Amino acid sequence: MDVVDALQGRDMPAILGPSWTALSKILETRRSEIENHPQQTFQYGSTDRHKLDVYYPEPATVSPDKPVPVLFFIYGGGFVNGDRKMAPPFDLAYTNVGVFFA
């Protein structure tokens, strides 16, 4: 993340591309771990956009007699556009958010 640290300025359009590129390279080294994390997708409506991805903690890390916290992550798009999946090489970005907090 030294690349992100070295970016000058605070203008979002100027730093977004280099930040995404740096992050995607880091995530790529952990692709298998991220893609194989316990996860399930639920359909809650009639269109392809009506899907909810649930990421679970690794079973060995949870005690069955204790509650598990829940985090809701709503990806960008203002509920009018966007997608829960992005095209490579950025396809791991949203998935990693679920895996990280699970």
The 10s digit of each residue's pLDDT in 38-73 is 999 999 999 888 888 999 898 888 888 988 888 888
- Distance in angstroms (rounded) separating the CA atoms of residues 78 and 31: 28
Residue 15 confidence (pLDDT) above 80? yes
Domain that holds residue 40: 2-101
Residue 37 confidence (pLDDT) above 90? yes
What pLDDT, on a 0 to 100 scale, did the predictor assign at position 50? Answer: 86
- Distance in angstroms (rounded) separating the CA atoms of residues 73 and 79: 13
Number of domains forming the structure of the chain: 1
Sorting pLDDT into bands at 50, 70 and 90, what band is 2?
A: confident
